[in-house]
Each structure stands twice: as structure tokens, then as C-alpha cells.
Chain A
């Protein structure tokens, strides 16, 4: 099950914990992967670990021109893009009363606007192929909100509306678009939290533990598969029961 042999996948944020796990899972299922991110070293290290069928495509997602160029670079490197995983994301947490325009714009640009640009960039090849998988990595806070994350939560909630609208437009062409909303996953992003914050959060998780990047990657693998062809416009919550939506 879930054989992706012959498929080409572009994964953003592949230098991070979840993105790296996603790239490994797609690659292990037989896909060719293009690893994108801002930090070249971890991308090169991951590509070396994967061996064949792995390409490194560094991209700064706050640079609109670079973002528009990325799908084309992916097509040049792999011959096509069948699966797009918009995983890259940044946080600029701040109490709302202190939220600066800059912190708002940065988060919206990288998390939401670049997602839109990349989806738009892969649409033509997917339409022609009559097959495509768009998988946008949102967040539990896009559904629940979170103090200090007005910008981040808005960007992730925005992804849901974007994804559903795309799903409507292209469902008849064999293209699905879905979101995955991770809960509390052990990565560099959550390492920044204090121990008090962590234990407070763990108390709210019925599973009693943080999730692993592999558990997000498994959800991506499903949504990328042929078998998931009838699942579109959905948000798959992977959060240990933290919010049952």
C-alpha cells in the first residue's frame, strides 16, 4: 500500500524536523523528492542520507520571486511535480497588543502567501497530468487559536480556506488538496518552549505525550497516495486527542 514509485514530490521546510520526516517517508515509498528550505547544510545532509532520487532546491520563502521560481526548478530537477507539501512555517510569537506589523507580515508571507504561490505554480503540470496531491501542513492552533500566536494561527487558518477552495476547483481533474493539522510535535519549534509550558501543554493531551515527526509524515504519505484519491478538502488532525475536531 501507498506506493509512490514514479511520483515527484516537492517538500518545503525539509530542513526542519517534520519536513525531513515527510521527505524521508515519501522517498521510502518510492517518490523522487525535491528538498527545499533556507538552510542548505541540513538539506544537503538529508539528500546525502537519501541517496538517489533526492534533489536540493534552497529557497527563501519570504522572497516572492524565489517562491515563484521554485516549482519551475522542481520540474527541471525531477521532470514534474505530482505532490506538493507546503510544510515550511515560521513563528513570531507575541502578545497581540504588542504584535508589530512586521511580525504579522513575515508570518503571513512565509506561511500563507508562499503556500498560495507554490500551489499556483504546480497547478498547470498537475492539470495536464490529471493527477496531483497538494498537502498543506497547518496547525492545531489554526482551528483552536492560541495566545501569543495571532499571526501564526491566522496564517494556518488561512491555509484551510485556501486548501478547500483549491480542492473545489480542481477535484474533477484528479487533483486533491488537503491540510494536516499537527498538534504538539517534538521539533526545534517546540524545543523553544519552557519546561513549564511543555508540562502545561502535555496535561491537555489525552495521549499524554508529544507527537513524533514520523506520525505527521505517515499522514502525508496517506494523503499523497493513490488510495487517498477521494479525500479532498479535508483537514486531518494529528494531535493525540488534544483537540477532537
Chain B
């Protein structure tokens, strides 16, 4: 697993308080990992800080799963 994926997973595990093995490629933050809409905003904020990037609101809306997040950040960073 890439370095980006590791760091994203760490943030998701810490923020949502879920088991690491639940955070799979296709795991949806809201449907599978118990996030509410505010959690997703906070996750995006945390990603922005961790990777020093800006994630615009319209892009943030497309980040629904762990895989989406890793893909977006890999391309943006």
C-alpha cells in the first residue's frame, strides 16, 4: 500500500474510530464507516492539512470512499 494510502487510512481510523481492516478501497465513509455529513467535512479538512493541499468543495463532494480519497490526494499532491 502506498504511503498516501497509509496516511489517509490513519486519519480515517482516528477520526471515525473504526477498525483498520474496515477501511477498504470501496468503503464508503457514510454508508460503511458510520460518518455523518459533518464527519466528511472534517475528514477533508484533515486531508488538506496532512497533505498541504486545497480540496475545493465540488471536489470534496466526489470523495465518498476511502479509495476516492486516496486517488484524489495522489493526483493533487
Q: How many residues of B contact A (CB 8 A)?
A: 3
Find chain A residues with CB under 8 A from B38 CB: 169-170, 172-173
Tell me if A128 is interfacial: C-beta within 8 Å of chain B. yes
Q: How far is the CB of A19 from chain B (nearest CB, A)?
A: 31
**Alpha-carbon gap, A210 to B38, bound state (A):** 43
Q: How far is the CB of B43 from chain A (nearest CB, A)?
A: 11
The number of inter-chain residue pairs (CB within 8 angstroms) is 8
Find chain A residues with CB under 8 A from B45 CB: 124, 127-128
Find chain B residues with CB under 8 A from A169 CB: 38
Q: How far is the CB of A234 from chain B (nearest CB, A)?
A: 21
**Alpha-carbon gap, A170 to B36, bound state (A):** 12
Find chain B residues with CB under 8 A from A124 CB: 45
Tell me if B42 is interfacial: C-beta within 8 Å of chain A. yes
Enumerate chain A interface residues (CB-CB to B < 8 A). Answer: 124, 127-128, 169-170, 172-173
**Closest A-B pairs by Cβ, 3 of them:** A127-B42, A124-B45, A169-B38
Enumerate chain B interface residues (CB-CB to A < 8 A). Answer: 38, 42, 45
A-B CB contact pairs (8 Å), 8 listed: A124-B45, A127-B42, A127-B45, A128-B45, A169-B38, A170-B38, A172-B38, A173-B38
